[in-house]
Chain A
């Protein structure tokens, strides 16, 4: 087994930065798709996402910096600031250079975006409204860019056959959006506890679809779609590994039966992180989708669902980061 040059700090960084970027993108798109909709429920969702987004991005980036060689083995004070060299240049061919700039912009934009939601009485059309919408327009592409970049970062190297595939950025993007949505779901479930009964009552008494609060339903349906895309991404990743030769086949073997990451990948990422949440979401969204019934999900179920998705996202990063480093080119 090869040594892990990139360990837990990088795994946590990829997960947290992806989740924060996903939360920013989801929040911004919800806001732009009608912040005032569903009795301002949409705005409330956007607010949770906006307030959440910068925290994981900043914590994740801190992990990234702590893991740098010049930080771990610093012999003089100036070495703690060596990482600022990332911002004295722009290296077109280096995904990490792109990433540093995108991430820097993402942190600034998400912090300001969160600030526009900070006041408790923040509402659509208030004095922050135009700035908020402008940053939402920035946030959708920026959040997607961060999600994609985390995959490109790993995928750039022929020396790492497990990572060196074009589907990885897509997989990481989808996972970052679904973990971002899961983060929003958790905040919503925890902080909007007071009006659950009220909401349920309103749901049941609503006569037409127009009166119903569909914000939760839309969030869950979107999440279901993302989980479906994640399955597609993983399917294509494995399928194409077998359509390649040599090192690709050897690399994918670590997550297949007999491989050292087999259990964690299939039980952890696929079953716990994707299939279980998908089944739960299907059970609750299909009646609304097909029969127009009210969408009500118990709060505890909502919480555990989102937790599963978050754990799945973390385990996906773990499996990918480790698998890429314990496999390598075949032969010499």
Chain B
């Protein structure tokens, strides 16, 4: 009997121990998950307020000069979306650049690790000395943001002007924007302008169905595509202002 009851106590104690351990794990688990997400101290993102964009291409030009982007290629460009039949018409502008996604497919597919997401600020960048120029990331990007730079033979794209941002400046396209349509900043900082704008506006991202969680947000973006012309029984024209005449 005695041994039996001691066994029982033991097992009960064990049970309690296990229970306590489980409770502790349960309590700390959300904390660890939370710390994992906040570990990235800075989370750079951009909001583009298309209502303030006048389609002047100053951002495209600033980008081109900043990086001496080879002819025929672009890291940043502005698409014109024209739709409707007179008198009911609208033309809007859709500035495009790398989305610095939270789950970038380009980083996943890179066979050498040349393309990577900077852990401390979330910018997706390319190490040119490691890139072999296989073009896999160019295929994988759902936004057509990447190209093969014929001068370096490696993949190239927008890097949120890492060299400027790390010195405390804003990216060149943001700096030059006439209408202040672009807002750049850290969305982990609740007091930053971008956090306030994101919190108080209806925003959208491009191609959210690709599951990449983009970090370039748009206010009042026109998501109309050429294919919608037939569906809406209207006229739609997309001007990409890139070498690629069709939107990619």
Which of B33-41, B47-55, B145-153 faces chain A? B145-153
B interface, over-half SS: loop
A70 close to B94 (CB less than 8 A): no
Q: When chains A and B are docked, how far (Å) is the Cα of A75 from the Cα of B154?
A: 12
Q: When chains A and B are docked, how far (Å) is the Cα of A329 from the Cα of B225?
A: 11
B109 close to A73 (CB less than 8 A): no
Q: Does B162 contact A (CB under 8 A)?
A: no
Q: Find the B residue at minimum CB distance from A96.
A: B111
Write out the residue numbers on chain B whose beta carbons fall within 8 Å of the beta carbon of A68: 132-134, 153
Residue positions of A touching B, CB distance < 8 A: 1-3, 5-6, 68-75, 79, 82-83, 85-86, 88-89, 91, 93-97, 99-100, 156-160, 250, 325, 328-332
Partner of A332, one of B132, B150, B223: B223
Partner of B148, one of A69, A86, A156, A158: A69
Number of interface residues of B (CB under 8 A): 43
Write out the residue numbers on chain A whose beta carbons fall within 8 Å of the beta carbon of B136: 94, 96
Q: Does B207 contact A (CB under 8 A)?
A: yes
A71 close to B153 (CB less than 8 A): yes
A332 close to B108 (CB less than 8 A): no
Show 28 A/B contacts (Cβ-Cβ < 8 Å), sorted by A: A2-B248, A5-B138, A69-B153, A70-B131, A70-B133, A70-B154, A72-B153, A73-B133, A74-B153, A83-B132, A86-B111, A86-B132, A91-B110, A93-B108, A94-B109, A96-B111, A99-B111, A156-B108, A157-B105, A159-B139, A329-B207, A329-B210, A330-B227, A331-B223, A331-B227, A332-B206, A332-B223, A332-B224
Q: How far is the CB of B104 from chain A (nearest CB, A)?
A: 11
Write out the residue numbers on chain A whose beta carbons fall within 8 Å of the beta carbon of B153: 68-75, 79, 82
The total of interchain contacts (Cβ-Cβ below 8 angstroms) comes to: 122
Q: Find the B residue at minimum CB distance from A85.
A: B112
Write out the residue numbers on chain A whose beta carbons fall within 8 Å of the beta carbon of B109: 93-96, 156-157
A73 close to B151 (CB less than 8 A): yes
A159 close to B246 (CB less than 8 A): no
Write out the residue numbers on chain A whose beta carbons fall within 8 Å of the beta carbon of B21: none
Q: When chains A and B are docked, how far (Å) is the Cα of A160 from the Cα of B140?
A: 7
* 8 closest A-B pairs by CB: A69-B133, A73-B153, A159-B142, A96-B111, A97-B111, A69-B153, A70-B153, A70-B133
